[in-house]
Amino acid sequence: MIALDPPKLAHFWAQLLGGHRVVVDGEVWVEVPEYSRLDFLKVPESKTAKNRLHLDIAVSNVESATSEALGLGASQANDVYSGDRRQVLRDPEGNEFCLLPPDLS
């Protein structure tokens, strides 16, 4: 993932996915057993267009996972999708991702 602040964004994703953030010699990544590894690369500009990568995360309860994500710093993205089968959110830097119930994953 690209980020203005890779350590901070990696911290959010580590908490959300239940992994742990690793910082070695300026490189930042999150290790998550189910996903392997997410790398975070620094860029000088904020997100201005649609994501190049969109994560769909299967959760057992979309409502509670949404509350948890919002508590970690995510925001709702009802302008992208406002139905009731999934929840689209944005991470703290504006990257969209979905929380999906088991029957959609």
> Is the pTM here over 0.95, yes or no?
no
Long-range contacts of range 33-36, CB-CB < 8 Å, 24 or more positions apart?
A: none
Domain extent listing, the chain: 1-44, 52-105
Asked if residues 99 and 69 have their Cβ atoms less than 8 Å apart, the reply is: yes
**What does the alpha-carbon distance between residue 26 and residue 82 come to, in Å, rounded to a whole number?**
38
52-105: what fold? 2,3-Dihydroxybiphenyl 1,2-Dioxygenase; domain 1 (3.10.180)
pLDDT digits (tens, 9 = 90+) for 55-105: 999 999 999 999 999 999 999 998 888 778 899 999 999 999 999 998 875
Q: What are phi and psi of 102, to 5 degrees?
A: -55, -35
For residue range 29-60, what is the model confidence (pLDDT) as tens digits?
999 987 789 999 898 888 777 777 789 999 99
**Residue 67, pLDDT score:** 97
Architecture of the domain delimited by 1-44: 2-Layer Sandwich (3.30)
1-44 and 52-105: same fold? no
What's residue 88's pLDDT? 94
User: C-alpha angle 42/2/70, rounded to 5°?
Assistant: 115
